[in-house]
C-alpha cells in the first residue's frame, strides 16, 4: 500500500478515527499494531512472519539481557534457568523437526536451532554480551540471506570456478521453507536496523527495557515509517508510544502540510524525472554527453524527491496520529561540503552508521589513519546497505574517498571564508551527481560507459523537456531562498497558501502517474 494511492486513503479514513476514539482506552496500541501489520501484510502476508519473528526475538533477548549482570544489577537465576531449559528444549525439538520433517524445512530449522542453542549458551553463561550477539547475528542473518544471498553465492561460485575448486554453493531460493518465494521483503533493511538499534541501545544503557510486547511490536512495525524509514531510535519513538499523544489541531495542519509536499515531490516531480532518466540510462549508448549529464542531474533530483517525498509523507501521516518522526532530509543539495552533505542526506541512516559502526570502530579518536579507515569502512557498508551490487559498493567508496579528500579542506579557514558559498554548493552537487552514476547504472559496465561518454561523446540535443528543467530550477531556487536572507518572503501567508494551492492543482492537472518508491528496493 503506497502512501499516494487510494487504498491508503481508505486505510487512513478507518485507522485515524478509530485511533482517536480509543484514546481513553488501552486499545489504541493494539489498534496501531494491528493497523501496522495490516499495512505491511497488504504487500505480502508472508512478510509478516519475518517482522513478527524479529520482534519476538529482540523483545525476549532484551528481557533476558535485563536479567544479566550490569552495573547495580544481580543475576536472576530463576529466570535464566527457565530460559536455559526452554531454549535447550526448543533447540532439541527444532532439530528433531529438521531431521524428521520434510527436507525443504532443514536449512531454516537448523538456523533456528542454532539461534536457540546460542540462547541456551547465553542463559547458561548469564552474559548479556551473548544476547546482544544473538540479536546481531539474527537480524544481520535475515538481512544477509534475503538481500545479499544471491549476490554472495553468485560471486563465491565464480571464485570457486576461477580457483578450479569443485565446490558450488546452492542458490538461496532452494533454502526457503514451505516453497515460499525468495523475494526481498520490502523494508527489511529498515525494520531490522530499527530493531537492532533497540538491543544495542539497551546493551549500552541508552534506553530502558520495554516491558509491553505490543508497544515494542508497534515500535518495530509502526506503519508510517515501516517501509522506507526514517529509521527511528527506540529512545525517540518508544517514549512517544507510552501515552496517547496530545490531540492538537497543529498535528493535523502540520501533518497535512508535510503530506502535501511529499505527494507533490513524488507524483509531480520524481515520477516525471524518472521518465527521462529511464530513457537515457536504459540505453546510454544512444545518447550524447549532454543527455547523459542531464539524465544524471535528473536522477540526483529524482532520488531526492522520491525518497524525501516518501519521508515527508511518512512524517505527515505519523503527525496526523500525533507522533513525531525525525527529520531525514535537510535540503541536501545546498550542502557546502561532503561532510555537510551527509548531515543532510538520509539523516536517520547516516546517524545510525555513525552511532553503531563509525564510533564503535573508534571514530576520529585514534589518529588520522584509523579515522580514514573507519570512514572508508562505514561508507562501504553504507553502500552495501543499499543493495548487493558492485555499483553500490563503488558509490560508497567514492563518497568515502570524497569525504577523506575534502575533510581537511572543509575545515580550513580559506574554504570556510574565502570560497563563495554557491561555488561550494555547486561543487558538492557535481561530485554527488558523479557518484549517482554508479548508484543508478544497471551494471558496472554501464556506469563506466556513461562516465566515458560524458567526457568523450558528441554534443547532441539532449531533448530534455523544458518543463522538467524549469520545475527543478524553481524548486532549487526555493531551497536557496529558504537558506538565505530572503526566507522571509517564503514565510508570508499568501506565499504559503499560494504554494499549497499551486501544488494541489498541479497534482490534479499534471500528475505523471504513480510508481513505487525507489527506496522500497533497499
Partner 1 sequence: MDKPLSSAIGEIKIVNEVRLNVRQWALALGFILLVVLLTPRFWKGVERFDTGPDYRIPYDLSKDYWLYQRRMEDKVDPHSIVMLGDSVIWGEYVLPDGTWSHFLNEQTGQVAKFVNGGVNGLFPLALEGLVDYYGRSLRNRKVILHFNLLWLSSPKADLRVDKEENFNHTRLVPQFFPRIPCYKADANTRLGILWERKVDFCAWVNHLQDAYFGQKSILNWTLEDDGGDPPRYPNSYKNPLAQITFRVPGAPRDDPQRGSKSPRHKPWSASGAATQFEWVDLDGSLQWGAFRRVLQTLRERGDDVFVILGPFNEHMVAEESRAPYRKLRDGITAWLKENKLPHLAPGTLPSQLYADASHPLTEGYALLARQLLESKDFQRWLLQR
Task: Measure the CA–CA gap between 413 and 397, rounded to whole angstroms.
Answer: 27
Count residues binding partner 1 (CB under 8 A): 71
Q: Which of residues 197-216 bind partner 1 (CB under 8 A)?
A: 205-208
Phi, psi angle pair for 307, to nearest 5°: -75, -45
Instruction: Give min distance, CB of 343 to partner 1, in A.
Output: 12
Question: Does residue 399 have an active-site annotation?
Answer: no
Catalytic residue from among 4, 346, 386, 399: 386
Comparing CB distances to partner 1, the nearer of 250 and 456 is: 250
Q: Rule CB under 8 A: say whether 504 interacts with partner 1.
A: yes
Kindly write out the interface string for residues 405-444 of this chain, putting x where it contacts partner 1 by CB under 8 A and - elsewhere: ----------------------------------------
Q: Which of 250, 413, 418, 456 binds partner 1 (CB under 8 A)?
A: 250
Q: Rule CB under 8 A: say whether 495 interacts with partner 1.
A: yes
Q: Which of 477, 501, 516, 521 binds partner 1 (CB under 8 A)?
A: 501
Comparing CB distances to partner 1, the nearer of 323 and 392 is: 323
Helix (H) or strand (E) holding 443, with range, is: none
Ramachandran sector of residue 340 (left: φ over 0; alpha: ψ -120 to 50; beta: rest): alpha
Comparing CB distances to partner 1, the nearer of 112 and 325 is: 325
36 class by beta-carbon count within 10 Å (0-12 exposed, 13-18 middle, 19+ buried): buried
3-state helix, strand, coil split of the chain in percent (to 5) is 75, 0, 25
Q: Which of 88, 212, 240, 406 binds partner 1 (CB under 8 A)?
A: 240
Q: Rule CB under 8 A: say whether 509 interacts with partner 1.
A: yes
Q: Which of residues 258-297 bind partner 1 (CB under 8 A)?
A: 258, 260-261, 272, 275-276, 279, 286
Instruction: Give min distance, CB of 366 to partner 1, in A.
Output: 26
End-to-end CA distance of the chain: 17
Our CA angle for 365, 368, 371, nearest 5°, is 60
Instruction: Give min distance, CB of 306 to partner 1, in A.
Output: 15
Instruction: Give min distance, CB of 303 to partner 1, in A.
Output: 17
Comparing CB distances to partner 1, the nearer of 136 and 468 is: 468
Q: Taking contact as CB under 8 A, which single stretch among the options 124-132, 135-143, 253-261, 379-387 is the one that binds partner 1?
A: 253-261
Q: Which of residues 306-335 bind partner 1 (CB under 8 A)?
A: 315, 319, 322-324, 326-327, 329-331
Is 210 within 8 Å of 194 (Cβ atoms)?
no
Q: Which of residues 442-481 bind partner 1 (CB under 8 A)?
A: 463-468, 478-479
Q: Rule CB under 8 A: say whether 343 interacts with partner 1.
A: no
Q: Which of 69, 102, 170, 239 binds partner 1 (CB under 8 A)?
A: 239
Which of these, 267, 334, 350, lies nearest to 300 by C-alpha position? 334
Q: Which runs of consecutive H residues, i.e. helices, occur in 227-365?
A: 234-237, 249-263, 271-281, 289-320, 338-341, 347-353
Q: Rule CB under 8 A: say whether 256 interacts with partner 1.
A: yes
Comparing CB distances to partner 1, the nearer of 78 and 249 is: 249
Residues in the chain: 522
Is 231 within 8 Å of 238 (Cβ atoms)?
no
Task: Measure the CA–CA gap between 204 and 235, rounded to whole angstroms.
Answer: 12
Comparing CB distances to partner 1, the nearer of 46 and 510 is: 510
Which of these, 319, 241, 210, 229, lies nearest to 30 by C-alpha position? 241
Instruction: Give min distance, CB of 184 to partner 1, in A.
Output: 21
Close Cβ partners of 324 (under 8 Å, ≥ 6 residues apart): 240, 315, 318
CA torsion sign, 405 to 407 to 410 to 411?
Answer: negative
3-class DSSP assignment, residue 54:
helix
Is 115 within 8 Å of 57 (Cβ atoms)?
yes
Q: Rule CB under 8 A: say whether 305 interacts with partner 1.
A: no
Q: Rule CB under 8 A: say whether 360 interacts with partner 1.
A: no
Comparing CB distances to partner 1, the nearer of 100 and 249 is: 249
Grid look-up 542473518 returns: 141
Task: Measure the CA–CA gap between 234 and 238, rounded to whole angstroms.
Answer: 5
Q: Which of residues 164-183 bind partner 1 (CB under 8 A)?
A: none
Close Cβ partners of 279 (under 8 Å, ≥ 6 residues apart): 295
Q: Taking contact as CB under 8 A, which single stretch among the options 17-25, 88-96, 450-458, 504-512 is the one that binds partner 1?
A: 504-512
Catalytic residue numbers read 386
Amino acid at each position: 500500500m503506497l502512501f499516494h494511492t487510494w487504498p491508503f486513503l481508505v486505510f487512513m479514513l478507518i485507522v485515524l478515527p478509530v485511533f482517536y476514539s480509543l484514546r481513553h482506552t488501552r486499545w489504541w496500541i493494539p489498534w496501531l499494531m494491528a493497523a501496522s501489520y495490516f499495512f505491511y501484510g497488504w504487500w505480502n502476508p508472508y512478510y509478516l512472519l519475518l517482522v513478527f519473528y524479529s520482534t519476538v526475538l529482540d523483545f525476549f533477548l532484551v528481557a533476558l539481557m535485563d536479567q544479566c549482570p550490569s552495573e547495580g544489577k544481580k543475576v536472576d537465576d530463576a529466570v535464566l534457568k527457565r530460559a536455559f531449559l526452554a531454549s535447550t528444549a526448543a533447540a532439541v525439538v527444532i532439530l528433531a523437526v529438521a531431521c524428521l520433517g520434510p527436507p525443504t524445512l532443514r536449512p531454516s530449522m537448523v538456523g533456528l536451532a542454532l539461534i536457540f542453542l546460542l540462547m541456551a549458551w547465553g542463559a547458561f553463561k548469564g552474559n548479556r554480551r551473548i544476547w546482544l550477539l544473538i540479536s546481531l547475528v539474527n537480524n544481520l542473518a535475515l538481512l544477509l540471506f534475503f538481500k545479499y544471498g544471491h549476490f554472495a553465492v553468485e560471486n563465491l561460485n565464480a571464485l570457486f570456478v576461477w580457483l578450479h575448486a569443485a565446490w558450488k554453493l546452492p542458490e538461496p531460493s532452494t533454502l526457503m521453507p514451505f516453497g515460499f518465494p525468495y523475494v526481498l521483503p520490502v523494508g527489511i533493511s529498515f525494520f531490522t536496523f530499527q530493531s537492532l538499534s533497540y538491543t544495542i541501545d539497551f546493551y549500552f544503557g541508552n534506553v530502558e527495557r520495554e516491558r509491553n510486547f505490543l508497544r515494542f511490536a508497534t515500535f518495530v512495525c509502526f506503519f508510517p515509517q515501516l517501509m522506507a524509514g526514517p529509521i527511528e531510535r527506540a529512545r525517540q519513538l518508544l517514549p512517544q508510544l507510552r501515552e496517547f499523544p496530545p490531540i492538537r489541531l497543529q498535528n493535523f495542519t502540520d501533518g497535512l502540510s508535510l503530506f502535501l509536499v511529499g505527494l507533490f515531490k513524488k507524483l509531480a516531480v520524481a515520477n516525471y524525472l524518472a521518465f527521462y532518466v529511464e530513457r537515457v540510462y536504459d540505453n546510454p549508448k544512444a545518447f550524447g554527453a549532454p543527455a547523459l549529464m542531464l539524465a544524471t542531474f535528473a536522477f540526483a533530483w529524482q532520488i531526492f524527491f522520491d525518497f524525501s517525498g516518501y519521508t515527508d509523507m511518512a512524517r505527515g501521516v505519523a503527525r496526523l496520529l500525533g507522533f513525531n518522526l525525525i527529520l531525514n532530509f535537510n535540503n541536501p543539495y545546498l550542502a557546502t561540503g561532503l561532510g555537510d552533505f551527509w548531515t543532510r542526506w538520509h539523516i536517520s541512516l547516516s546517524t545510525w552508521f555513525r552511532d553503531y559502526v563509525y564510533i564503535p570502530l573508534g571514530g576520529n579518536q585514534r589518529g588520522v589513519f584509523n579515522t580514514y579507515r573507519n570512514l572508508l569502512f562505514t561508507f562501504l557498508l553504507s553502500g552495501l546497505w543499499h543493495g548487493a551490487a558492485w555499483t553500490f559498493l563503488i558509490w560508497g567508496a567514492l563518497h568515502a574517498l570524497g569525504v577523506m579528500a575534502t575533510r581537511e579542506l572543509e575545515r580550513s579557514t580559506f574554504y570556510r571564508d574565502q570560497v563563495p558559498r554557491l561555488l561550494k554548493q555547486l561543487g558538492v552537487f557535481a561530485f554527488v551527481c558523479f557518484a549517482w552514476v554508479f548508484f543508478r547504472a544497471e551494471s558496472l559496465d554501464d556506469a563506466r560507459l556513461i562516465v566515458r561518454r560524458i567526457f568523450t561523446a558528441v554534443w547532441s540535443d539532449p531533448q530534455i523537456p523544458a518543463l522538467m528543467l524549469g520545475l527543478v530550477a524553481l524548486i532549487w531556487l526555493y531551497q536557496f531562498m529558504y537558506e538565505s536572507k530572503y526566507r522571509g518572503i517564503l514565510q508570508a501567508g499568501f506565499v504559503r497558501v499560494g504554494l499549497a494551492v499551486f501544488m494541489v492543482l498541479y497534482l490534479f492537472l499534471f500528475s505523471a502517474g504513480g510508481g513505487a518508491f525507489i527506496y522500497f528496493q533497499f
